[in-house]
Amino acid sequence: MNTIEIMLASIFVYADGYLRCHQYGLDPAEVLSESDEIELEEALKSLKETSVDPFEGFWMFAIIYKLGNKTESFWLNSKLPLFYSKFSVGQPNGSGYNCLQIYRPNTGLLAWNDIPCDAKIRFICQRKQRDNMCSDE
């Protein structure tokens, strides 16, 4: 299980958000399973108590690109393909946008979308839980 860190203070383009996660000693957000998605959505639902609007979206750090007629995507940090995804209907739409956001479209449910990498939005990092390698016992 990971600890989700939603960065609310500033907005950044995709590459700067990715670098900030590392500067803060965190990993860029990656959703590898439905349980990861549920954990992320729970963290975003907690924003109801803040002035941050999930309609604006948050960076998740995957790259989306087209090879011929096929759309490919992978997580930037781990280089793993998107085994799990929750794209909004019609997304990714092949419009040449290569970066991934999670946002709340008009349906009211959180979903993924491809957007331009130079858009400035907030971003999500994660702190991976690491097993203790040594013990005092």
Q: Are 117 and 15 in contact (CB under 8 A)?
A: yes
Decide if 30 is inside a domain.
Answer: yes
What is the domain range of residue 117?
Answer: 2-128
Decide if 47 is inside a domain.
Answer: yes
**CA distance readout (Å), 47 to 43, 44, 50, 75, 110:** 7, 5, 5, 25, 13
- Does 21 score more than 50 pLDDT? yes
Decide if 136 is inside a domain.
Answer: no
The tens digit of pLDDT for each residue in 54-90 reads: 557 899 999 998 888 888 899 999 999 999 999 998 8
- How many CB atoms within 10 Å of residue 92? 21
Quote the pLDDT of residue 137: 37
More confident residue, 69 or 137: 69
Query: How far is 85 from 107, CA to CA, in rounded Å?
Result: 17
Decide if 68 is inside a domain.
Answer: yes
Report the pLDDT averaged over residues 101-108: 83
Query: How far is 83 from 130, CA to CA, in rounded Å?
Result: 22
Decide if 135 is inside a domain.
Answer: no
Report the pLDDT averaged over residues 1-24: 87
Q: Are 57 and 102 in contact (CB under 8 A)?
A: yes
Query: How far is 14 from 61, CA to CA, in rounded Å?
Result: 8
Radius of gyration in angstroms for the set of CA atoms belonging to the chain, rounded to a whole number: 15
Quote the pLDDT of residue 64: 92
Quote the pLDDT of residue 3: 83
- Does 134 score more than 50 pLDDT? no
Decide if 137 is inside a domain.
Answer: no
Decide if 32 is inside a domain.
Answer: yes
Mean pLDDT, the chain, integer: 84
Q: Are 106 and 55 in contact (CB under 8 A)?
A: no
Quote the pLDDT of residue 48: 63
The CATH number assigned to the domain holding 104 equals: 3.10.100.10
Count the domains in the chain.
Answer: 1
Decide if 133 is inside a domain.
Answer: no
